[in-house]
């Protein structure tokens, strides 16, 4: 299991074991841990808590952190979900469903390489734009 000590409201982990995946979802608001079991080739959907995504003056994003690596941007939205950018690496099998009270990441036909920690992140638009520009990702 990968524990990531960041001040994020939602941490989502996907673990691989003999082509069976365990998706655990934990919000900082509760101590409950939700677990889904996914076999190789199955689809899985992971969700941000509706209370976390409320508001219009922010950017929502999903990141994936593989063991021993820095988090990778999967997808992000801005302008109240009107502007969606999916990283090229994830375009084939990752889908976003976004709405006023919904921010869900679906992984189509899971594979072993999908193992990692999935993070739902909310930040001010100017902050994430500046960070990504400094990292050369925009």
Q: What is the CATH T-level fold of the domain 10-134, as seen in this structure? A: Immunoglobulin-like (2.60.40)
Q: How do the domains of the chain map onto residue ranges?
A: 10-134
- pTM here is 0.69
What pLDDT score does 125 carry? Answer: 62
Please list the rounded mean pLDDT of every run of 10 residues in the chain (138 residues): 37 46 48 66 88 77 89 84 86 91 91 85 65 51
What pLDDT score does 7 carry? Answer: 34
User: Among 138, 116, 119, 117, which residue's Cα sits nearest to residue 127?
Assistant: 138
What pLDDT score does 72 carry? Answer: 93
Q: Is the dihedral of CA 3, 8, 12, 16 positive or negative?
A: negative
User: Among 64, 44, 39, 46, which residue's Cα sits nearest to residue 117?
Assistant: 64
Residue 90 makes CB contacts below 8 A (sequence gap 6+) with 64, 74, 75
């Amino acid at each position: 299991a990968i524990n990531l000590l960041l001040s994020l409201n939602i941490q989502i982990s996907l673990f691989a074991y003999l082509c069976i995946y365990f998706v655990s979802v934990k919000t900082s608001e509760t101590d409950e841990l939700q677990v889904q079991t996914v076999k190789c080739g199955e689809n899985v959907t992971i969700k941000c808590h509706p209370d976390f995504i409320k508001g219009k003056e922010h950017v929502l994003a999903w990141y994936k952190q593989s063991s021993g690596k820095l988090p990778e941007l999967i997808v992000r939205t801005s302008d109240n979900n009107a502007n969606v950018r999916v990283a090229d690496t994830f375009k084939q099998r990752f889908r976003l469903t976004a709405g006023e009270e919904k921010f869900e990441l679906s992984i189509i036909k899971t594979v072993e390489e999908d193992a990692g920690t999935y993070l739902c992140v909310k930040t001010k638009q100017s902050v994430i734009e500046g960070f990504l520009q400094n990292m050369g990702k925009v």
